[in-house]
């Protein structure tokens, strides 16, 4: 189970960002967790010392009984010592037993419901920020790539994962999978930057980064944390994305290749999203072009301004996706040849839980350099 090694002075993970949330007594959650670990350690040692002391007293009592039997001197006093020893031993055993039961019980329960609520909100906020950062990567042009020193935060998870584990094991499992996928993305960036050396060229998104896995796992974790409210428990039930080709002039989509590169492409469709909540909308709508089962280019929405205002329960819109590379950027365009077929995938990302819906359209054909009408 991932846990943070806490700084003994501040109570926060090394290099982590201190939370402003304070418990009623002025302590942060991380500080209370560390304090509890210290108390538990002390109780364990007190229990061991009490048991050793009781055994020593019992031995003394046993010796006193033997001496009193062989050389009878004040037999009542000896009997009193024995009774005293037995009483002390009984009290010690009972005290240690109760202390261990208390420790065992306390380890699986958060200090308070307020502590769990605070941990849930802080981790939820971190995951929503992660989802937004992944969205920003998807929107970079001319192709998805990472900013300098890109990484996804895990600070709140490291600080409060233990609280969530003790309070809701089922939710914790979903969160653990999400942060495992997020950590993979971070580790992949470190490895690729190391191999890149002194070059400052931005790193493009590649399949080995497993960014899609992190995106899906993050969406599932956000939904799991929000499932405490009745409204969000049924998020995603019945949502459906559809798309129909809509001709612009004589065509609804094509690509054009120059020097073996896909330098321009467009897709025009009518998108219909059904089954949304009344106040639910879309945060992103893109068209990924696939060739031989893999995405090679993500076409942006030509006019994304309406995304901010369109809400459910149904959204219907005529939209166009297009991308044109300037001659200086031809080297960044994906490699294709005239005659290749591309499969458009319309991808809608929902505003409530950041999950996605996809609709696959018929293939479009790649053309060669323009040589007149119809080419």
Q: What domain count does the chain have?
A: 3
> Would residue 79 count as lying in a domain?
yes
Domain boundary among 188, 208, 228: 228
Domain boundary among 57, 83, 107: 107
Nearest Cα neighbor of 364 from 244, 219, 266, 226 is: 266
Residue 361's domain is classified under what CATH number? 2.60.40
281-338 pLDDT tens trace: 899 999 999 998 889 999 999 999 999 889 888 899 999 999 999 888 888 899 999 9
The band of 2, judged by pLDDT with boundaries at 50, 70 and 90, is very low
Nearest Cα neighbor of 219 from 161, 155, 283, 275 is: 283
Do 219 and 250 belong to one domain?
A: no
Task: Tell me which H or E stretch contains 283.
Answer: strand 282-291
Do 203 and 180 belong to one domain?
A: yes
> Would residue 6 count as lying in a domain?
no
Q: Pairing mode, if any, of strands 364-367 and 315-324?
A: unpaired
Residue-number span of the structural domain to which 271 is assigned: 240-367
Do 138 and 246 belong to one domain?
A: no
Do 193 and 142 belong to one domain?
A: yes
Q: Pairing mode, if any, of strands 364-367 and 253-258?
A: parallel
Grouping H, G, I as helix, E, B as strand and the rest as coil, residue 285 is: strand
- How far apart CA 264 and CA 226 sit, in angstroms, is 41
Do 285 and 355 belong to one domain?
A: yes
- How far apart CA 353 and CA 194 sit, in angstroms, is 34
123 token code pair: 């981790």
**Neighbouring C-alpha atoms within 13 Å toward the C-beta of 288:** 18
> Would residue 15 count as lying in a domain?
no
What integer pLDDT is reported at residue 234 of this predicted model? 43
What integer pLDDT is reported at residue 286 of this predicted model? 93
> Would residue 372 count as lying in a domain?
no
110-164 pLDDT tens trace: 445 778 788 888 999 999 899 888 888 877 777 788 888 899 999 999 998 888 8
Do 305 and 265 belong to one domain?
A: yes
- How far apart CA 271 and CA 244 sit, in angstroms, is 7
- How far apart CA 70 and CA 219 sit, in angstroms, is 80
Domain boundary among 107, 135, 154: 107
52-102 pLDDT tens trace: 666 666 666 666 666 665 666 556 456 656 656 665 665 566 555 555 444
Q: List beta partners, residue 342.
A: 364
């Amino acid at each position: 189970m991932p846990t943070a090694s806490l700084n003994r002075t501040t109570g926060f993970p090394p290099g982590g960002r201190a939370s402003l949330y304070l418990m009623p007594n002025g302590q942060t959650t991380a500080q209370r967790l560390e304090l509890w670990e210290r108390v538990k350690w002390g109780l364990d040692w007190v229990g061991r010392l009490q048991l050793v002391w009781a055994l020593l007293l019992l031995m003394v009592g046993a010796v006193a009984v033997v001496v009193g039997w062989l050389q009878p001197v004040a037999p009542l006093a000896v009997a009193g010592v024995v009774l005293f020893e037995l009483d002390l031993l009984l009290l010690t055993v009972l005290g240690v037993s109760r202390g261990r039961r208390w420790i065992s019980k306390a380890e699986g329960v958060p200090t308070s419901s307020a502590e769990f609520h605070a941990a849930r909100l802080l981790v939820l906020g971190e995951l929503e920020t992660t989802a937004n950062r992944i969205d920003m990567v998807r929107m970079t042009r001319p192709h998805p790539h990472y900013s300098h020193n890109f990484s996804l935060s895990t600070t709140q998870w490291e600080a409060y994962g233990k609280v969530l584990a003790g309070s809701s094991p089922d939710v914790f499992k979903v969160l653990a999978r999400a942060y495992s996928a997020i950590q993979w993305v971070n580790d992949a960036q470190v490895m690729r930057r190391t191999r890149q050396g002194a070059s400052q060229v931005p790193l493009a998104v590649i399949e080995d980064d497993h960014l899609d896995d992190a995106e899906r796992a993050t969406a599932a974790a956000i939904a799991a944390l929000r499932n405490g409210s009745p409204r969000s428990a049924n998020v995603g039930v019945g949502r459906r994305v559809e798309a129909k080709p809509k001709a612009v002039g004589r065509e609804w989509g094509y690509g054009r290749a120059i020097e073996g590169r896909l330098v321009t492409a467009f897709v025009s469709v009518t998108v219909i999203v059904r089954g949304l909540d009344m106040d639910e909308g879309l945060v992103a709508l893109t068209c990924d072009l696939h060739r031989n089962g893999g995405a090679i280019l993500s076409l942006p929405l030509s006019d994304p301004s309406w995304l901010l205002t369109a809400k459910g329960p149904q959204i219907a819109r005529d939209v166009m996706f297009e991308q044109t590379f300037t001659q200086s950027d031809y080297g960044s365009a994906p490699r294709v040849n005239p005659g290749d077929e591309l499969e458009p995938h319309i991808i809608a990302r929902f505003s409530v839980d950041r999950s996605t819906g996809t609709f696959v359209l018929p293939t479009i054909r790649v053309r060669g350099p323009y040589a007149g009408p119809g080419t």
